[in-house]
Amino acid sequence: MISLIGISYKTSKVEVREQFVLSHEEIIPFSELLQNETGISDIVVLSTCNRTEIYFSQNKYDFHLASKLVYKTLKQFKGIQDKYWHVFYSYSNTEAVKHLFEVSCGIDSMIIGEDQIVGQIKDAYVFCTEAALTDAILMRLFQKSFEASKRVRTETQIKMGSTSVSNAAVQLCSNRFSNFKDKKVLLIGAGDTGSLVLQHLHKKGVKQVVITNRTAEKAEKLAARHKCTTIPIELVSEQLHRFGIVIVATGSKVPLITKKMIRRSTQLRNDVEQVFIDISVPKNIEEDIENLDGAQLFTIDDLQGVVNTNVEKRKGSICAANKIISQIVDEYCEWLASRALRPTIKAITYNMLKISKKEVSSYNKINSEEMQKALNEFSKHLAQKYTRLLIKNLKDITTNGKNTESLTFVNNLFEIGNN
């Protein structure tokens, strides 16, 4: 049985989620405690800023008891006394498989279609597999989740367009300039938003980025991480004309770029186009520059419209994504159910050959060597024929292993497991 328990941004606040985060260093000690307390040893732990989920494979307990035991062990391991079961979710079998596939495809993410989660799932799977914490059932499950993710991201439009303002700002510049990689960019602001802008610029291959910030030390730290240069914010006015793109992302209460500064800059550039993007709240660039030749301003409102449109487009892909997910869920569950037949098939095959060999042996003493050989071959053929017939009927009766009640009846009928 495949099961999972989890807590995510959908069910709890970050103050609760952070209590249940499991680092890579904690996973093996946790698994050891879980095995000692419950006997459950096959797990994959996915722990990110938005979710902690524990996937496990076991047949010792019923689903509800197993889920509670894993939750109880997790609380024990983390030293948590308060009750949080009401913000946890738990799934088993098909529902658990479907949930993992939705997570890997980005459907269950805060930003629909985001790519980061599938990398995090791969890291979690590889770590637990290399630590010998996964069985064949979990290994197959996660491999199929990667297949689902790849198909959804390539066969649907779930990745279409930017879904963050910082990414949209960079995408806008990329679309506007054919030589975007060669442009000189001035980034004003070294906070979280500025850092994201810088990451997106580097992904696009932009090398000439200069950072400035009201707190110079903060700009220098960000620049050092990304091998950029800085200038003092006091020099922005006189150096503004050097940059084809100016992106402002600060928390300043007053405009840092004025119309006067932009007018002077465009004059020095001989009206060669200069793009200004203001993603600050409140706005940090004076807006009244429509009549200045060579200057183009985009505000956060312009970009948010693009983001909202892209989010709606991605939502429109969920239906197509779910069809792909359902197909791969069925494939996996079919494989999982067929595994339940293996002991029965093995036992039927063994018992039929055993009976055949035993019965034929009594005739070997009274027949010639040639007759014995023919009898052995006929007996083997007959056993194989009836074995195939029994296996075919077994698959039909148990719906290829999905009907566990019928499977139990067949096992009892042939006393399989007692031989």
Give the residue numbers marked as catalytic.
49
User: Cβ distance 161 to 309 under 8 Å?
Assistant: yes
Partner residues linked to 43 by β-bridges: 56
Amino acid (one-letter) located at 342:
R
Residue 216 tokens, joined: 């110079």
Residue 69's SS3 state is helix
Q: What are the tokens at 6?
A: 């989890």
- By C-alpha distance, which of 104, 65, 71 is closest to 87? 71
Collapse the DSSP code of 110 into the 3-class scheme (helix H, G, I; strand E, B; otherwise coil) and give the result: coil
Shortest CA distance to 70 belongs to which of 102, 46, 37? 37
Report d(CA 380, CA 258) in Å as an integer: 93
Please answer whether residues 31 and 22 qualify as being in contact, where contact means their C-beta atoms are separated by less than 8 angstroms. Answer: no
C-alpha 355/C-alpha 353 separation (Å) is 5
Q: At 279, is the secondary structure helix, strand, or coil? A: coil
- Beta carbons within 10 angstroms of residue 50's beta carbon: 18
Residues linked to residue 91 through DSSP beta bridges, in sequence order? 4
Nearest to 214 by CA among 196, 236, 195: 236
Rounded to whole angstroms, the Cα distance separating 43 from 22 reads: 13
Distance CA 255, CA 248 (A): 10
Task: Give the SS3 label for residue 260.
Answer: helix
Beta strands in 25-77 (DSSP E): 42-47, 51-57
Burial of 233 (0-12, 13-18, 19+ CB in 10 A): middle
* DSSP secondary structure of 292-307: STTEEEEEHHHHHHHH
Q: Which two tokens stand for residue 360?
A: 């034929």
CA 52 to chain centre: 12
Helix (H) or strand (E) holding 212: strand 209-212
